Chain A
Amino acid sequence: MTIEFEAPKPIVNQQVMLKTVAENMMRPISREFDENEHEIPWSYVEFMHMAMKAAGGGGGLTVMEEKTSPPAPLLEGEGSQKRPPIGYQKLATQIEMLAWGDVGMYLITPGGGLGAAAVAAAGTPEQKEKFLTRFNSDIPTYAAMCMTEPGAGSDTSAIRTRAVLDDKTNEWVINGEKIFVTGGDKSFTHYEKLGKGFIVVWASIDPSAGRAGMRAFVVESGTAGVKINKLEKKMGIRVSDTAAISLVDVRVPFENMLGSATVEKNNTGFRGAMATFDATRPLVAASGLGVARAALEFLKEKLEENGVKIRYGLPRQKLSNVEREVIDMEIMLKSAWLMTLKAVWMADNKKSNALESSMSKVKAGDVTTKITQKAVEILGPIGYTREFLLEKWMRDAKITDIYEGTGQINRLVVARQILGYSGSELR
C-alpha cells in the first residue's frame, strides 16, 4: 500500500466518454424534464442501456460482476500484472460525472439500483443468479428498494410492514405501506419499453424481535396486491420517479426472502440493510458532489465572463469576498471528493468502511447544499433565473443530505464509530 492520487487509466478513459454523454445526452434535456415532471426521457434511458451493454458491463451502474461472481479475488489478473480491484472507484467516478450532467437523470439510469444492491448484499448465490441476471437483458430494466414508510424514515426499526408465512403454500404474505420509493414506478409498472423489474420490500417477520426480525423480500413487477398510489411532486430531481406504494395481501414465494428465515439475536436482517448502506453512502455522496461541481464550474465561468478571476495564492486579507467564497467552495468540494474516493477505495480493498462511508456522506451532504446555495446567492438574479440550470442544481442538491441517511443520522453513525458506542448508548 501507499498514498497515491493518480486516477487509474480505465477511470480516466471512462470519464472522457461519460462527459460526452453528460454534455450531449443529459444537459440539453435537463430543463425539459424538470418542467415536465413524471415524463420519461427515453432517449437517455435507451441510450444508456445500449451503451452500458456495449461496454460489456450490463446490469447498469453496479459492481455486480464483482459481487455475483464466485468469491472475487482481491487481485484482478491482467496479463502478468496484478491490480487491485477498482469496481467501486469506477462506479463512484461514473456517478459523479453523470450527476454532473443531471443527477435526476443519473437516478433513472437503467439497472438494479438500490434494489439490486440489497440482493447483492443480503442474498444467497441462487438469489443473486435469479434476480440479478435480468439487468443484462436487451431492454432497460429497473429495481427499487422500499424501506421508508409514513411512520418510519430514519428510524428504520419502526417499520410496520409485516410478512407472515403461509405454511400451506410456503408463501410470504406481505401487508404494509411504503413511500418515497426511488424508481418504484419503473421497477414495478409494466412499460412496453422496459424489462420486468422488481421492488425489494423490507418487512418484519417478527415485530417482537425488533431489528432482528427485519427481512427484505423481492416482489416481482406485476405481483397482485401491490399498488402504486402516487408519484411525488418534488423540489428537485423531478425526472426521477418517487413512488408511494401500498401492499395488501401480497404473496411472494418463500425463496424471495433474502437471507435466513430464523430470527436470531445477531441481527442478520438489519445487518443486510446496513451493509447496503455502507456500500451505497459514498455513492450518494458522489452523486451530490457531481451536482456541486457543476454549480461551482458554472459560477466560476460566469464570474470569469464578468472579469472576476480568482487570485489563488493571495492572503485572505487581500481577497475579495467573492474570491474567498469560491476558494472555500473549492476546498469543500475537493476534500469531500477525496473522502468519497477513500471510502470506495476501502470497499474495493475489502476494508471495513462504515466510518469513512458515513463521513463522506456527512461531508457531501453539507458541501453539496452549501456550494449550490452559495453559488445561487453569489450570482444573484443569474443564479435565481430558470434561464440557467444553476437554480435547478440547487433544488436537486438538497436531496443529498436527506436520503440514504440524513445528515443527522450519518453524524450519529460517525459519532458511534469514533466513540465506540452502540445504538442504545447514543440514539
Chain B
Amino acid sequence: MYSFEPNEEQQMLIDVVSKYAENDLRTSSNENEENKELPKKLINKGWELGLLQASIPESYGGFGERNAVTNVLALEEMAYGDLAGTLAVLTPSLFATPILLAGSEEQKQNYLPKIISGEWSPYTAALIELSFDFDPNALKTIAEIVSDKIKLNGAKAFVPYAKEAQAILVYANLNGITQGFIVPKDSVGLSISEEREKLMGLNALPMYRVELHDVMIPLSNRLGGASGHDFELILASLRLGSASAALGVAKSSFEYAKNYAKEREAFGVKIAQKQAVAFMLAEMRTEIEAMRLLTWEAAWKMDNHKEDVCVAAYLAHTGAADMAMMVTDRGVQIYGGHGYIRENPVELLMRNGRGFAMLLGLAIV
C-alpha cells in the first residue's frame, strides 16, 4: 500500500520534538551561533526526548526498535529548530547507531547500555577528511592489521565533541574498503586539535581535527568484531541523517520567509503579493515536499530491507543538499537586505544550508 501519513506513535513523537525545537532550539539558535556555544542544559533537554534511546532494544537498555522513517521524521523536526543543537543532541548516535547496525554482540553489550542509560555523554564518530574530493568509500585514513592489532594512521576533520569524547568511531580504509574502528580516548598516537574548527556555519557545535599516528587498537575494536562489517548501510543511514536535517533547515528558512513576506510591505502591498516573491515561496515549498518524500521513501526502503536502499539514500541526500541551498538562499533573498544581517535567522540558515553537500557523517538515522 501507498500511504503518506505518520502513524499515531510517530505523530506523538513529532509533537514532542516539535515543542523542543520551537521553544528551546529555535529561540536560542542565533545566540548560540554568535556565542559559539551550546548550553549543556539545552543539549540535555533534547537528549531526554529519547530519540536514540527509543532506537535501542530493551536488551541493551533502550526502549524500542530502530525505525529509520521515525528517525527521519524526528530529525527533520528537530533540525527545524536549530542544526547545531540537533547535531549536538544526536552526537552519541554517531557512535551508537553504527554499533547497533553492525557491531558485534560484545560491542553492543559494552557500549549501548552505557551510552543511553544516563545523561548525554559524548561518544562521537570521525568520517570526514579535509580534501576536496572527500569520498567515504575511498578514505585516506589507513587501517592495517599488524598481527593481532590494528594500526591507524590519518587525519580527520569536523569531529563533533572529539575533545570530550569517551571514544571515537573512526572510519578508515582497510585494504580498499571502509571500516569503523573504536578508538578510546587517551589512545597513544591519538591527538585532538586544541582549536575548534572554524566553519562557514555551525559555529555553536564544537568540532575538532583528529590525527592518528600509529594508533594501535585490538582487533576486537573493529566494528563488527574481527571480521568487520558492511559499511553500505551505515553510509545510507548517514546520508538519510543529512537529508533529514536538510529538510528541517529548509523548512525553517521557508517558514521565516513566508511569514516575513506577509508582513513586509513594498510599493503599497505585501511583498508576498508580488509573484516574484510568491513564486519563490511556491517553489521552495514544492522542493521541500519533493525531497521529503524522496527521503521518506529511502528510509522506508531501509526499514523494509529493499535492495536499492543505498542508491535511494544517495539520491535523497544529493537532492536534499541541493534543495537546502536553493531554499535557504531564497530565504535570505526574500528578506532583502535584512536577510544579510546576522540578527535575522535566515542568514545563519543559509550558511548552514550550504553544509549538507559536504557534512556527511554528522547525523544518522
Contact = CB atoms under 8 A, between A and B. Distances in A.
A335 B293 contact: yes
Contacts of B105: none
A332 to B, nearest CB: 8
A89 interface: yes
Contacts of A313: 137, 310-311, 314
A419 B272 contact: yes
Contacts of A318: 133, 135
Nearest to A7: B2
Contacts of A336: 290
Main SS class of interface, B: helix
B273 interface: yes
Nearest to A348: B2
Contact of A1 (B5, B279, B296): B5
A316 B2 contact: no
Interface string B285-319: 11001110110110011001000001100110011
A314 B300 CA distance: 22
B133 to A, nearest CB: 4
Nearest to B135: A315
Nearest to B270: A425
A316 B301 contact: no
A335 B322 CA distance: 13
Main SS class of interface, A: helix
B175 to A, nearest CB: 19
A414 B293 CA distance: 18
B1 interface: yes
A3 B278 contact: no
A143 interface: no
Nearest to A317: B133
Interface in B259-291: 261-262, 272-273, 275, 278-279, 281-283, 285-286, 289-291
A145 B333 CA distance: 41
B227 interface: no
B7 interface: yes
Interface in A334-352: 334-336, 338-339, 341-342, 345-346
B273 A426 contact: yes
A195 to B, nearest CB: 34
A5 B311 contact: no
Residue of A3, A359, A363, A425 with highest tally of chain B CB at under 10 A: A3
Given A317-B132, A412-B278, A3 B285 contact: no
| Smallest CB-CB A-B distances: 6 pairs | A335-B290, A338-B293, A1-B5, A415-B278, A331-B319, A414-B282
Interface of A: 1-8, 83-84, 86, 89, 312-318, 327-328, 330-331, 334-336, 338-339, 341-342, 345-346, 356, 359, 362-363, 408, 411-412, 414-415, 418-419, 421, 425-426
23 contacts: A1-B5, A1-B6, A2-B3, A6-B2, A6-B304, A8-B1, A86-B2, A89-B2, A313-B311, A328-B319, A328-B322, A335-B290, A335-B293, A342-B293, A359-B282, A359-B286, A408-B279, A411-B282, A412-B278, A412-B282, A415-B278, A418-B285, A425-B273
Given A8-B1, A334-B294, A421-B272, 17 more contacts: A1-B7, A4-B3, A5-B2, A312-B314, A313-B314, A327-B318, A331-B294, A335-B294, A338-B294, A339-B290, A342-B4, A363-B286, A412-B275, A412-B282, A418-B281, A421-B273, A426-B272
